[in-house]
């Protein structure tokens, strides 16, 4: 690690790389302007009033934060009034059927590198001509023109400051500050000409969409390859530029805030299919991973996009890096089922679908697009109405096929309700007009519409459907014990639920010990998984959201324990769950219901959802015995096992190597286990600082040997 990077690392871990926003005074008469014009004027003034971070160790600069005094970037939604209203009224609420959630995005960084801000200005002017007579669109496009001009002016200000700083130094420090100033006068105004300029452009634009930097290894690779060949760049120099970029990603979080130690604040991918069908993992991909792993930070995190063409040694390398990483910043996703779903359900051509990245806690995102989710749904509510409200109807069912008819009706009813909430939540968000980020998303300039109002082109409408495994297990129990084995009558089951299992403890124990729950590679539970995913697929296939985006489902909870919060509002269910208890999230199993081997669990998950409807923000958490990663021979078998899992269709996995005993001990004596980190739901964090409800969920995961 270079000396200057070590210095920046120390500052970052100490929280001193965080840039405190500079307060901006606005003209009171701004309120007399048109609201959009006032917002644009103030946004531009705010940006140009900020000061860049510069030191004798700085090779990159240009990042800043919005402070809430103006409508800021799309990711943080700082200053977005109606988004805050949604958060206040519908976010992390206990006992609801749905909750309001965040949305993730990724700017079209590759386009910035190729055409520069001047290229965007040209497109905006052309769009203004195309929308002649459409006053609202022209007004919006003119704001985008001013924002782009402000980006250029901001880079110029950064260049001025770098030159001023250079006057205080001599030799190498002076030279690299002058090099920075020269680059800032070129990019991001113009297309990047070198690897250094490309990284600098990404950093400056990242301030306008501080979420995911996208597929860094593929759009930086041409610059890297050219500069290395021309000997204008060394591998060590490239590593240092990447590490400084990553430190700024980490430094944008305030030390002491829970987000400081969570990688979901910046998530991107390496590898995956290229448009020509080849696997994209290259020497820069490896350098990116090596560079990140050398930094003892928490942000960013990386997912390997695996393809059928990914060599085993690449998967092994990434799993080896993952097992050695104390901060657990690496996860694994499978291109095969995801790209298939993006093409067949999303309607995107291969060259667009194959450019996806991972954002946030595990949401897939197309280039220059938005993961238009932001809603979590407690789907086991289906069984509340089935077994309580429609008891008379289910008691009449003499066969499971008859029961399936009523189950279908309830699926439709609750999917209808979820869609209603989804549209209402999006309407609420659309009352905010985003000016800062919109031009960086494909479609917004062409359409002349803010990304909050349907401007972006490459988007997916998504629900996080919480409790999928719970639903599958409920179906399994009813089919197995009521209809197939006739162990109990449907009346017995309904009475047990109405009494919240009180007086039916023996029945509850029998179910836990003998039910063929999902995750054990049992034909009945696999069949029930197919039944439920087919219900989702049949309902959502071909449907479009109000903004015209195709639907795809997910199953993660993010930073908030929605599986606990939503579970509070759901009565007892046939799988033995009690009134108000936690419901499942992700595709996997927990609470000791996966009684078989790791292989059995992975076979169940790999065969899940042949329709592709749950290829959105999906996770599979796997807790394995530490012996499997500490012993090299066992580790090789683990690599083979997960390679087979992907070959069979598994969508995702992330690993934790902590025993249940360690977790219980850490919860009891947190001061002795401050350094214990675990994978949660697309991010990692220190176990002892997690919400207690998340801690309890992790404890329920079954350790595999």
Instruction: Copy the structure tokens of residue 413.
Output: 């009813």
Could you tell me if 628 and 638 are in contact, meaning their C-beta atoms sit under 8 angstroms apart? yes
pLDDT at 703: 55
The CA-CA-CA angle for residues 317, 320, 321, to 5°, reads 85
Q: At what angle do helices 235-251 and 221-230 cross, to 10 degrees?
A: 150
Residues β-bridged to residue 99: 376
Spatial neighbors of 56 by CB under 8 A, at least 6 apart, are: 4, 169, 173, 177
Instruction: Classify 141 as helix, strand or coil.
Output: helix
CA angle 205, 351, 222 (to 5 degrees): 55
The pairing of strands 363-365 and 330-334 is unpaired
Residue 301 is encoded by which pair of tokens? 């995190």
Half-sphere CA count of 695, side-chain side, radius 13 A: 17
Question: What's the CA gap between 173 and 180, in Å, rounded?
Answer: 11
What values do phi and psi take at 240, rounded to 5? Answer: -65, -40
| Cβ pair 516, 522 in contact under 8 A | yes
Question: Token pair for residue 436?
Answer: 């800062």
Q: Which of 373, 440, 106, 112 is nearest to 266 (CA)?
A: 106
pLDDT tens digit sequence for 302-318 = 999 999 999 999 999 99
Residue 376 is encoded by which pair of tokens? 């979590």
CA distance 599 to 637: 11
The set of residues, in sequence order, having a beta carbon less than 8 Å from that of 513 and lying 6+ positions away, is none
CB 289 within 8 A of CB 321: yes
Instruction: For residues 362 and 305, give the distance between their C-alpha atoms in angstroms, rounded to a whole number.
Output: 12
- For residue 154, give the DSSP letter: H
Whether 423 contacts 545, CB under 8 Å: yes
Within 10 Å of residue 162's Cβ, how many Cβ atoms? 24
Residue with tokens 């590593």: 239
Residue 538 to residue 256: CA distance in whole angstroms: 46
Between helices 135-166 and 171-184, what is the axis angle to 10°? Answer: 160
Whole-Å CA distances, 106 to 285, 434, 650, 657? 19, 15, 25, 31
Averaged in consecutive runs of 10 residues, what is the pLDDT profile of the chain (705 residues)? 94 92 96 96 98 94 96 94 96 94 94 98 98 96 98 98 94 93 98 98 97 96 98 97 97 90 90 97 98 96 97 97 93 97 95 95 91 91 96 97 97 97 96 97 97 95 93 98 97 97 97 94 95 97 94 89 93 97 87 83 92 92 83 92 96 86 86 84 82 80 56
pLDDT on residue 468? 95
Mean of the per-residue pLDDT values of the chain: 94
Dihedral of CA 188/193/197/198: which sign? positive
Question: Could you tell me if residue 104 is left (phi over 0), alpha (psi between -120 and 50 degrees) or otherwise beta?
Answer: beta
List pLDDT tens digits, range 312-340. 999 999 999 999 999 999 999 999 999 99
Q: Quick one: DSSP state of residue 573?
A: -
> Residue 384 contacts by C-beta under 8 Å, 6 or more apart in sequence?
570, 571, 573
Q: Could you tell me whether strands 104-106 and 363-365 are parallel, antiparallel, or unpaired per DSSP bridges?
A: unpaired
Q: Which residue shows structure tokens 């240009």?
A: 62
Q: How many CB atoms are located within 10 Å of the residue 97 CB?
A: 17
Closest by CA to 102, choosing from 581, 681, 690, is: 681
465 closest CA partner among 615, 669, 345:
615
Give the whole-angstrom CA distance, residue 370 versus residue 533. 24
């Amino acid at each position: 690690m270079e000396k200057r990077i070590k210095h920046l690392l120390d500052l970052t871990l100490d929280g001193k790389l965080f840039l405190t926003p500079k307060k901006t005074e606005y003209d009171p008469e701004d309120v007399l302007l048109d609201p959009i014009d006032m917002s644009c004027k103030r946004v531009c003034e705010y940006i140009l009033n900020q000061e860049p971070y510069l030191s004798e160790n700085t090779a990159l600069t240009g990042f800043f934060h919005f402070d809430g005094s103006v409508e800021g970037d799309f990711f943080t939604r700082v200053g977005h009034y109606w988004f805050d209203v949604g958060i206040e009224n519908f976010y992390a609420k206990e006992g609801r059927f749905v909750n309001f959630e965040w949305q993730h995005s990724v700017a079209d960084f590759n386009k910035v590198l190729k055409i520069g801000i001047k290229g965007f200005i040209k497109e905006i002017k052309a769009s203004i001509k195309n929308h002649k007579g459409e006053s609202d669109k022209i007004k919006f496009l003119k704001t985008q023109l001013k924002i782009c001009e402000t980006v250029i002016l901001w880079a110029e200000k950064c260049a001025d400051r770098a030159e001023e700083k250079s006057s205080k130094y001599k030799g190498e420090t002076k030279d690299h500050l002058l090099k920075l100033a020269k680059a800032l006068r070129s990019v991001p105004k113009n297309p990047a000409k070198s690897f250094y300029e490309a990284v600098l452009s990404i950093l400056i634009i990242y301030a306008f969409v501080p979420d995911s930097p996208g597929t860094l290894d593929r759009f930086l690779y041409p610059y890297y390859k050219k500069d290395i060949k021309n000997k204008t760049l060394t591998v060590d120099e490239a590593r240092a530029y990447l590490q400084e970029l990553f430190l700024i990603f980490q430094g944008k979080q305030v030390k002491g805030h829970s987000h400081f130690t969570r990688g979901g604040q910046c998530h991107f991918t390496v590898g995956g299919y290229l448009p020509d069908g080849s696997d994209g993992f290259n020497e820069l991909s490896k350098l990116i991973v090596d560079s990140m792993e050398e930094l003892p930070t928490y942000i960013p995190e990386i997912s390997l996009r695996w393809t059928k063409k990914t060599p085993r040694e690449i998967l092994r390398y990434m799993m080896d890096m993952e097992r050695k990483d104390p901060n657990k910043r690496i996860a694994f996703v499978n291109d095969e089922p995801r790209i298939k779903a993006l093409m067949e359900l999303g309607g995107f051509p291969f060259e667009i679908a194959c450019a996806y990245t991972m954002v946030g806690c595990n949401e897939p995102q197309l280039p220059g697009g938005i993961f238009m989710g932001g809603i979590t749904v407690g789907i086991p509510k289906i069984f509340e109405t089935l077994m309580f409200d429609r008891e008379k109807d289910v008691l009449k069912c003499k066969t499971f096929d008859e029961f399936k008819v009523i189950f279908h009706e309830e699926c439709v009813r609750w999917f209808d309700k979820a869609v209603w909430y989804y549209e209402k939540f999006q309407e609420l968000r659309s009352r905010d007009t985003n000016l800062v980020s919109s031009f960086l998303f494909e479609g917004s300039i062409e359409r002349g519409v803010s990304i909050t109002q349907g401007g972006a082109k490459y988007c997916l409408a998504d629900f996080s459907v919480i409790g999928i495994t719970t639903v599958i297990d409920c179906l399994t129990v009813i089919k197995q014990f009521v209809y197939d084995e006739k162990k109990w009558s449907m009346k017995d089951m309904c009475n047990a639920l109405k009494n919240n299992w009180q007086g039916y403890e023996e029945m509850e124990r029998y179910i836990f010990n003998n039910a063929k729950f999902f995750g054990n590679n049992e034909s009945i539970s696999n069949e029930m998984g197919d039944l439920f995913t087919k219900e989702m697929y049949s309902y959502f296939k071909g449907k479009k959201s109000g903004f015209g985006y195709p639907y795809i489902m997910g199953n993660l909870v993010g930073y908030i324990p929605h599986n606990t919060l939503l579970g509070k509002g759901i009565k007892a269910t046939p799988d033995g769950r009690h009134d108000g208890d936690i419901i499942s999230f992700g595709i996997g199993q927990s609470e000791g219901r996966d009684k078989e081997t790791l292989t059995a669990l992975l076979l169940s998950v790999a065969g899940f959802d042949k329709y592709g409807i749950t290829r959105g923000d999906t996770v599979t958490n796997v807790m394995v015995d530490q012996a499997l990663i500490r012993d090299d021979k066992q580790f090789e078998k683990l690599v083979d096992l997960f390679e087979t899992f992907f070959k069979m269709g598994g969508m995702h996995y992330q690993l934790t190597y902590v025993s249940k005993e360690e977790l219980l001990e850490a919860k009891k004596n947190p001061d002795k286990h401050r350094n214990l980190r675990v994978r949660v739901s697309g991010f990692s964090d220190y176990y002892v600082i997690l919400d207690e409800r998340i801690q309890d969920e992790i404890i329920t995961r079954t350790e595999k040997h």
